[in-house]
Structure formats: C-alpha cells, structure tokens
Amino acid sequence: MKVSVIVPVFNAGKYIKRCLNSLLDQSLSEIEIICIDDGSTDQSLNILREYEKTDKRIQIYKMEKNQGAYAARNMGLKLAQGKYVQFVDADDFIDYSALERLVERAENTGSDMCFFKMMLYKEVECAEKNIPAGITGTYSGIYDGKSLLSLFMRNEEFFLYNCLVFYNRSFLIKENLYFKRIVIGEGGDLILRALCSARTVAVEDRRLYYYCLNTQSVTNRDDQRVSTIVGQIYQYADMYRLFASEAESTAIEEYLTRQYIKIYGGVQNLSIEEEEFILNELEDGFSRLIFKMLMAKGKYISDLNEQQLMIIKHATHVIIYGAGYATKNVIELLNKYQIEIMGFAVSDVKKNPSSLYGHRVFGIEELKSYNRDSLVVVAANNRHHAQIMENLEKHGFENILCLDINV
C-alpha cells in the first residue's frame, strides 16, 4: 500500500462524489481511501456506502457524533496502512496524477514531508474558474524543516493548508504527531510541529490540489473569527514551547515575531464575551497564559478586586473620571460586572469628545448636585491622582476610588 488518503466528511453530500471520483481515477492504484463520516445529517453517508460497494479501496467509518475534522483525521491516521498519508477535504479534489507524482518526489528525496501547490476552484454562474494560490515560488532543493519554514516566511508565502502536505507515515508515528482539538487551524498547528522535527522536506512544483471555495465550510464562515484566533493561539503556544526547549532556532524566532503581530491585532478587538469564550476553549494552561499575556498588553487594568467591586456595587451612582486611554478598559470591566454608569467626567469638556462608548462626557462641575451620593472611579494615570482628587474634593465629591493605572 503506497498511500492512505484520509477524507473527513461532514454534510458534504453536494461535493463528495466529485472528491471520490478524483481519488478513484488516480494514475496510482496502490492506495486506500479512508472516509470518516463525522456525524453527517445529510446524504453523505449514503453516498459513501454506495461508493464503498464499487471499489474495495474505499473504507467507510462512522463517528458516533460530530466531533470535528481534527478527530476524524486522527481516526484516519490510526487506521492508515500506507507508506504515505495524504489528507483531502470532502469538498475538494485532486489532479489525476497527484498521488503518483507525490510518491515519486518523496521517494527520490527521502522526504518526511512534501509540500505541493494548489488551485483555488470557483464555480461562478456555472463557469468554472481556477486561480493559482498557495505556494508560488520554486523550491527545487531538499531542506530540513526549520530552514524551509524560515524560507517560506521570508518569501511571504507560508500557507498552512493541511491538504498541501504529503507525509511519510512513519515520520508521523515516530514524532508522535497528531491533530489537536482545534476548530480552525488544526492543520497549521500540525504542520508547524512537523516542520520543527522534519529532517528532509521537499516541495513539488506542480499544482495538484483543487481547493474549493465553499462559503459554508467552517474555514470560510464569517462567524468563525474567534475560532480562528483560538487556533492561532494554539499554534503560537506550541512554537513557543519548541523555542524554549532549543538552544537556538532562528526559524522559530522569526515565526513567533511575525505571528505575534497578527494575533495581537485580533485579540485587541475582542469583546469581553469573546475573551471569555476563548479562555474556556483553550484546554491547557500554557495556551491560556499566552492568551492572557496578549490580552494584558494594551490593557491598563486586568480586573477589579473584591474590595473594589463591593465599593462600586454599593454606590448609588457611578461616574468614571477621565476620557483617556484607560477608559475603554475600565468601561469594559464595569460592563462585565453589569455595573451601570451615569457617564464620564472631565475637568475640561472643550478638550474632550461629547460622548464615549455610548455615554455622555460631563464637565465635573455639571455633576456637583450628585456629589453626595455618587462614587467617582478615577480611570487615569497614577501620577495624576493627587491633582484629580484635589479637583474632585473642591467640587464636593467625597467618595472617590482611584484605580491603579500606569499608562
């Protein structure tokens, strides 16, 4: 058996025939096609059963319930018997000569991994359109994994598509490489760990894979932005572990530096609800720590302590003093604890906006009638606290809570 082709299937009834036909028509016949039905609720399993009757190379396995592509692929890896492993998504298809060419390239180079190129496949008003995508350069040599990782990044074309890597199965077994429980990015996570272990990696120059732009697939849905960040955090944490365990690795350092910028931008735009969702999704403490560090950067106060919460919750009215960098952070924390505010107060309204985050910005003198039954939460740099308190006391405010903020 030369190649085990692993196909995770979930509600792919519209596309699965095209995928299977491309596999059965391969010029290389020494293959097994392992289809893992991941709890489909459409006709996918029935279609698979019909194909199973026509060709003994097709093996069908059914998951008890939907667990995600990572679990289906892991099951496929346990069942695989081929010398090499190729993953194909159920809504994609491959060139008729793909597996033969990849076996030839892997055999000639003795590769642990062999990358190859793809076409984006679009169906627009019954007209098929193929667009070159993924790796664009030519890499004719044989590389160690970290060198190729570094080269990909320098050429700005490092594409973590799991389906574009042809693996030597013994390499995966030896390095204990498998998919982690990640909704989006599980393939990229595996590729990064594999590259850091691979001694020989090649790149096939031909475009052999047709990646279909299915707007309903998990990776293409707009509502999966947060799941994408979860995958990025896992990838980053895995590479950080590898970097910490090695004396020096320029490639991993380059990756961490570049990826940090990408992840940080996404993390800073998360809502409090999205932050809590991600923390619950991350299963290991190290990944959660990485995420908390990313959240903390750019935040001027991480949370309110019990004493501060008790003081704020018992106040009749809550006013936030300040309209600077820390106010967004503070209002998000108050929203987290469902604490309503009257608005923001500043010393000079002319130098500030008329409203912030849906609340009016008052001059402190406008709120003098509330000075007896209001709590003023000072959301300004510590070095200004003395001056602010003096100003508040001058206007008759007695209940003042200064937060520890270093901007």
Q: Residue 24 belongs to a domain with what CATH number?
A: 3.90.550.10
- For the chain, what percentages of helix, strand and coil (3-state, to nearest 5) are there? 45, 20, 35
Query: Domain for residue 233, yes or no?
Result: yes
Question: Is the pLDDT reported for residue 219 higher than 70?
Answer: no
* Three-state SS at 226: helix
Query: Domain for residue 407, yes or no?
Result: no
Query: Does 335 share its domain with 197?
Result: no
* Range in 35-49, 88-102, 198-212, 236-250 the model is least confident about: 236-250
Query: Domain for residue 301, yes or no?
Result: no
Pick the closest to residue 296 from 244, 333, 321, 322 (CA basis): 333
Give the neighbor-by-neighbor strand order of the sheet with 355-356. Answer: 355-356, 359-363, 343-346, 317-321, 374-378, 399-402
The CA distances from residue 361 to 315, 365, 367, 404, in Å, are: 19, 12, 11, 22
Query: Domain for residue 158, yes or no?
Result: yes
pLDDT at residue number 248: 61
* Average pLDDT of the chain, as a whole number: 87
Question: Is the pLDDT reported for residue 373 higher than 80?
Answer: yes
pLDDT at residue number 75: 97
Query: Does 262 share its domain with 341?
Result: no
Query: Does 114 share its domain with 192?
Result: yes
Query: Does 248 share its domain with 157?
Result: no
pLDDT at residue number 130: 66
Query: Domain for residue 188, yes or no?
Result: yes
Query: Domain for residue 11, yes or no?
Result: yes
pLDDT at residue number 137: 86
Query: Does 38 share its domain with 187?
Result: yes
| Domain count for the chain | 3
| Per-residue pLDDT band at 38 (split at 50, 70, 90) | very high
* Range in 17-26, 53-62, 201-210, 285-294 the model is least confident about: 285-294
Query: Does 93 share its domain with 129?
Result: yes
Pick the closest to residue 405 from 390, 384, 387, 391 (CA basis): 384
Higher pLDDT, 396 or 258: 396
Query: Does 55 share its domain with 166?
Result: yes
The domain boundary residue, chosen from 170, 194, 220: 220
Query: Does 72 share its domain with 144?
Result: yes
Share of the chain above pLDDT 90, in %: 53
b/e sequence 124-136, b meaning 16+ C-beta within 10 Å: eeeeeeeeebbbe
The CA distances from residue 341 to 184, 315, 356, in Å, are: 38, 10, 12
Question: Is the pLDDT reported for residue 342 higher than 90?
Answer: yes
Give the mean pLDDT of 216-233: 69
Running DSSP on this structure, what letter comes out for residue 347?
S
Query: Does 268 share its domain with 338?
Result: no
Query: Domain for residue 349, yes or no?
Result: yes
pLDDT at residue number 128: 56
The domain boundary residue, chosen from 200, 220, 240: 220
Domain region containing 361: 306-402
Query: Does 198 share its domain with 229?
Result: no
CA dist., res. 227 & res. 98, Å (int): 31
pLDDT at residue number 222: 46
The domain boundary residue, chosen from 220, 238, 264: 220
Query: Does 173 share its domain with 238?
Result: no
Question: Is the pLDDT reported for residue 357 higher than 90?
Answer: no
* Range in 19-33, 76-90, 340-354 the model is least confident about: 340-354
- How far the first Cα of the chain sits from its last, in Å, is 63
| Per-residue pLDDT band at 126 (split at 50, 70, 90) | very low
CATH value at residue 387: 3.40.50.20
61 CB burial (10 A radius; 0-12, 13-18, 19+): middle
Tens digit of pLDDT for each residue in 249-289?
788 888 888 888 778 777 766 777 788 888 888 888 888 88
| Per-residue pLDDT band at 401 (split at 50, 70, 90) | very high
Tens digit of pLDDT for each residue in 189-214?
899 899 989 999 999 999 999 998 76
Identity of the residue numbered 374: S
pLDDT at residue number 155: 84
Contact 262, 232 (CB under 8 A): yes
Query: Does 215 share its domain with 228?
Result: no
